[in-house]
Amino acid sequence: MQTARAPVVTPCAAPQDPPATPVQWTRVGGGGECVVLGPSTLRLAAPNARATSAAGGVFRVHFAADAAGRPEPLVLDVPVGAEVQLATAAAAPATLAALQAQDAAGFGSEDGEFWRWTGAVAADQRLVLALGKVRTASLRARMRGDAEQYELAFAAKARTVRLVRVLGGPPLTLATATLPDGLDAPRTLEFELHGFRLQAFVDGVRVLQVLDGASGSGDVGMGWSRDGLFGGGLGADGLAVAPPAVPRPSAALVRDTANTATLYAASAAPPGPWAIVELALDRPHPLLLREASGCEPWLLQRPAAPVVLAATPRQELGLGTFAETPAQGPARAALRWPALPALAGHVALARVVYVAADGSAELGRSPAVSLRF
């Protein structure tokens, strides 16, 4: 008698989700390095720097100061698989004047060392310190003797920055800030003083801002602990000074699908003006050959100017393309366009134009980002 064989069962692998498409980042324009903080931390140096991040989410983009100023920070909502383009106007790197050790008066103690420069007495200035691998460091500004000064103290282990004012009495802590997540192994500490506005930056990321005008001008100085190695030593790689960085516009384009994108634009202008999206084509028609005179033989004229399409209050280009400048954060416009074969392959330059509330004057423009249809 033959026994029936049990059927052979082949285990099937559980279905797996396809891997998520990474986010593509591109930096265009000029200036210094930009730091992107969020689910991933990225550093992009201008121009034409590229990077990828595995996850989407909310990202905060911070730009370092350059010769033209400091581009405004951006807050971006980036979906998975998007293409992000960060734009700033072309500018040279910031010029810093290094303070030399032979011009300073220094002294040491059991706790550390301190150096003071008596010639740098400008009221408005930006102090830049190369951190290296220090455990603690401090920047001093507007010093008048030992009884009046501002001190910006950095503690690497605690990841904190603290602003202290001394005004003829015991030190008073004006503000304390913790470094944001992802900002590890910082390279530079900046202390910017512009009138009543006192700001602290770590690698170009603003971590602290206070309005205080108790001290007007004075000497500058720096100190660090003995158990920390100062980055590069005193001099060109140590403390440097520069004028305060003037805020300037920035922009970003987040392309999430084939025919949708979100345009972000940040400006130092106060809230209230209109933020109007403008699209400009490089040329209104295909490229034609030219004669020696520069004219196009078939059209008998020089190349036409770019064709400009501006948003209207009806917002045909998308939601937010004609809106008031927000009180906080960048202007945000959702661009939408039809999937027409005639648009395929064309490129437009997208920017935000800031217009006075009564329409009487143009107040400024954001950098342009390229939009591929």
Q: What is the pLDDT of residue 271?
A: 79
E strands in 29-171 = 34-37, 42-44, 49-53, 57-63, 70-71, 74-78, 83-87, 97-98, 105-108, 112-117, 125-130, 132-133, 136-144, 148-155, 160-167
pLDDT band at 12 (very low <50, low <70, confident <90, very high): low
Q: What is the pLDDT of residue 297?
A: 60
Mean pLDDT of the chain: 82
pLDDT band at 329 (very low <50, low <70, confident <90, very high): confident
pLDDT, tens digit, 9 for 90 and up, residues 156-174:
889 999 999 998 889 999 9
Of residues 202 and 272, more confidence is placed in 202
What percentage of the chain reaches a pLDDT higher than 70? 81
Question: Would you kindly state where each structural domain of the chain is located, as residue ranges?
Answer: 23-91+248-372, 97-242
To the question of domain 97-242 being in CATH 3.10.100.10, the answer is: no
pLDDT band at 110 (very low <50, low <70, confident <90, very high): low
Of residues 254 and 303, more confidence is placed in 254
**Pairing mode, strands 219-225 and 205-211:** unpaired
pLDDT, tens digit, 9 for 90 and up, residues 111-143:
567 777 876 667 789 999 888 777 788 899 998
CA distance 91 to 369: 16
Q: What is the pLDDT of residue 235?
A: 37
Q: What is the pLDDT of residue 285?
A: 53
CA distance 67 to 30: 10
pLDDT band at 229 (very low <50, low <70, confident <90, very high): very low
Mean pLDDT, residues 90-116 taken together: 74
Q: What is the pLDDT of residue 213?
A: 82
Mean pLDDT, residues 59-72 taken together: 93
Q: What is the pLDDT of residue 231?
A: 42
Mean pLDDT, residues 249-273 taken together: 89
112: which 2 tokens? 């550390």
pLDDT band at 233 (very low <50, low <70, confident <90, very high): very low
* pTM of the entire predicted model: 0.83
Mean pLDDT, residues 280-303 taken together: 59
Contact 40, 55 (CB under 8 A): yes
Q: What share of the chain is helix, strand, coil (3-state, %, to 5)?
A: 0, 50, 50
Amino acid letter, residue 159? R
Q: Residues 6 or more apart from 35 whose CB is under 8 A from it?
A: 41, 42, 43, 61, 62, 64, 183, 203, 204, 205
Gyration radius of the chain over CA positions: 27
pLDDT band at 236 (very low <50, low <70, confident <90, very high): very low
